[in-house]
Amino acid sequence: MKIISWNIRGMGSRSKRRVIKEKILTSKADVVILQETRKEVIHRKLIGTRYTDWVSLPYFGSSGGILVMWKTKSISVMEAVIEIFSVSIKIQAINGQDWWLSGVYGPNKVRDKDDFWEELAGLYGLCGPRWCVGGDFNVVRFPSEKSNGGRMTRSMRVFNNFLQDTNMRDPNLLNAEFTWSNLREEAVCCRLDRFIFTLEWEELFTNARQKILVRVTSDHCPIELDTSKLKWGPCPFWFENIWLNHPDFREKFKEWWKQEDFQGWEGFKFMKKLKFLKGKVKQWSKEEFQELGK
């Protein structure tokens, strides 16, 4: 199962709606959560035909509008709850362990932030224990989640206290540090968007991992939460014991290992490193040993 969360910053123009639809279709997501729709009414023409059902929070005040849509072939929704800053759906699981998914859009104004966390605390009581939340929280957890740093603020502490009180998980992004940029020459970047979930939800979907997708038409990157089994692919390369007998192999290997520094989750970086080494070792082996088969 794939879930996409994306702050689209409005869907008013026809050209922008076309880009948004194309991005969503290529993601092949089962559930899509959109923030800042800036639409009072959502109708079939806006949704398209791929997503057969939806529930939305209209655009008003500081909410910006939230839309949660899904494919009924893969997702069966039992009920929905619409609040001020969130839209939640209860999903029926095949094994009988139903769970909740909430799409959120955190307020920009400081005076509304306490109401936001109070709403999430109430949802935790309603949706637990198997609960997943995705969206634009409009706050970071630590100064390191902002490219320009700064100090620990009250909003950050409130966010961290909420996670500690609910024991919810906040996994790292696999392939990036930030999800939003002001797109200026001296850009400021932050991690405003994320998925968080309870331990019981994680036990239900043990392979869950999140990454960003390529940014288009918005200053926010879409985030993908994928619960499918990891596909590591074929063995990166066949290791030949004869290589260890070459007097230069160990030093060469150290040299290759230091040549590239990949970014992202540790497992992702390790697999990228192996793929890079595969090319180096194959080229070196061909130069030193020619055709090993002979």
Give per-residue pLDDT as tens, 83-122. Answer: 999 999 999 987 778 999 999 999 999 999 999 999 999 9
pLDDT-based confidence at 240, cuts 50/70/90? confident
Rounded to whole angstroms, the Cα distance separating 8 from 19 reads: 10
For residues 114-137, give the mean pLDDT: 96
122: enclosing H helix or E strand: helix 110-127
Instruction: For the beta carbon of residue 65, count every other beta carbon within 10 angstroms.
Output: 22
Rounded to whole angstroms, the Cα distance separating 127 from 37 reads: 24
Q: What is the pLDDT of residues 210-219, one digit of tens each?
A: 999 999 999 9
For residues 17-43, give the mean pLDDT: 92
- Asked if 202 and 75 sit in the same domain, the reply is yes
Say which CATH number the domain at 87 has.
3.60.10.10
- Asked if 45 and 107 sit in the same domain, the reply is yes
pLDDT-based confidence at 80, cuts 50/70/90? very high
Last residue of a domain, one of 226, 253, 270: 226
Distances (CA, A) of 6 to 14, 87, 92, 262: 18, 14, 24, 25
Asked if the structure places residue 264 within a domain, the reply is yes
Asked if the structure places residue 231 within a domain, the reply is no
- Asked if 153 and 203 sit in the same domain, the reply is yes
Q: In the chain, how long is the greatest CA-to-CA distance?
A: 75
Asked if the structure places residue 233 within a domain, the reply is no
Number of separate domains in the chain: 2
Asked if the structure places residue 236 within a domain, the reply is no
Asked if the structure places residue 123 within a domain, the reply is yes
**pTM given for the model:** 0.79
Asked if the structure places residue 232 within a domain, the reply is no
Asked if the structure places residue 114 within a domain, the reply is yes
- Asked if 187 and 283 sit in the same domain, the reply is no
- Asked if 13 and 132 sit in the same domain, the reply is yes
Asked if the structure places residue 22 within a domain, the reply is yes
- Which phi-psi region, left, alpha or beta, contains residue 137 (left: φ > 0; alpha: ψ -120 to 50)? alpha
What pLDDT, on the 0 to 100 scale, is given for residue 291? 77
Q: What is the pLDDT of residues 140-186, one digit of tens each?
A: 999 999 999 999 999 999 999 999 999 999 999 999 999 999 999 88
- Asked if 19 and 67 sit in the same domain, the reply is yes
- Asked if 253 and 118 sit in the same domain, the reply is no
- Asked if 17 and 45 sit in the same domain, the reply is yes
Last residue of a domain, one of 202, 226, 250: 226
Rounded to whole angstroms, the Cα distance separating 14 from 17 reads: 5
- Asked if 82 and 162 sit in the same domain, the reply is yes
Q: What is the pLDDT of residues 269-285, one digit of tens each?
A: 888 888 888 889 988 98
- Asked if 120 and 46 sit in the same domain, the reply is yes
Residue 111's domain comprises 2-226
User: How many CA atoms lie within 13 Å of 41's alpha carbon, on the beta-carbon side?
Assistant: 3
Both tokens assigned to 200? 């019981």
- Asked if 261 and 214 sit in the same domain, the reply is no
Q: Is the dihedral of CA 132, 33, 210, 154 positive or negative?
A: negative
- Asked if 157 and 210 sit in the same domain, the reply is yes
For residues 32-60, give the mean pLDDT: 89
For residues 241-253, give the mean pLDDT: 91
